[in-house]
Structure 1
Amino acid sequence: MADPNERNGDNERKPGSADDADLSARLQSLDARISQASAQRAEAEPRPRPTSDSSALGQAFRLSAEFVAGVAAGGILGWIVDRLFGTSPWGLIVCLILGFCAGMLNLMRAAGMVKSARYDDKR
């Protein structure tokens, strides 16, 4: 019966203590390189932004409320202007457009895309 350690009659060397030491050294070298690469990757990755106390769903509701409130306030104000001055569709149209712009501005301020206006920053 053929010996499974031999290949087609070729004489291979048997594993010994030198091979075990070589394998152990290579494994330690590989482990050191992997830990070094993972440390470099951790340093290269951007730091996560600090999360706020609100959840993502809460943030979405807040942002949508900022926008809807601006449009609704413009609509109500336009309707009142139309009733007081008798300018049937124009007060509502103009105030709805202004409410839309105000809602977008509030939305961007709440999202942090635009700085809020302060008197200290203007000096």
Structure 2
Amino acid sequence: MAEQDRPPSTAGSGADRGQEAGGPDSEARDLAALERIGRGVAEMRGRQAEAAGASADPRSSRAIGKAWSLAIEMVAAVGVSVFIGWWCDRWLGTAPWGLLGFILLGIATAMWTAIRTGLRMQASALADQAADDAAEKKRRG
């Protein structure tokens, strides 16, 4: 192991530790190493900020958020329907018909939500495209 990579010894008095670690030269090496690490971290943060800035389109972020929201709504609709069907079967003793009926109802609700959200997203995208086209036409002419 190189002398500069070796951690200072904790045994002995304060004067002994300074001599074992190399004294002022060791501190200078440590400061230089810390400065190199600091520059490396700063460069890495700069590259990450550039990469995030290039890919951070607000429209795509909103679309991803809407997609996650839709997925959660669909799972919740089916999950709640399964619970209600199971509860009705236990209460009324109609197993498995309540569960099957409510599963179908939950799937239908999830599909209706997906279709409705898709239509809204399509209308929003068309409106954004029309606004972009109008701005482009106004800028050109």
**By percentage of residues, which structure has more helix?**
2
TM bin (shorter chain): 0.3 to 0.5
Relative contact order, CA 8 A, sep 6+: which one is greater?
A: 1
- TM-score normalised to the size of structure 2? 0.40
- TM-score normalised to the size of structure 1? 0.45
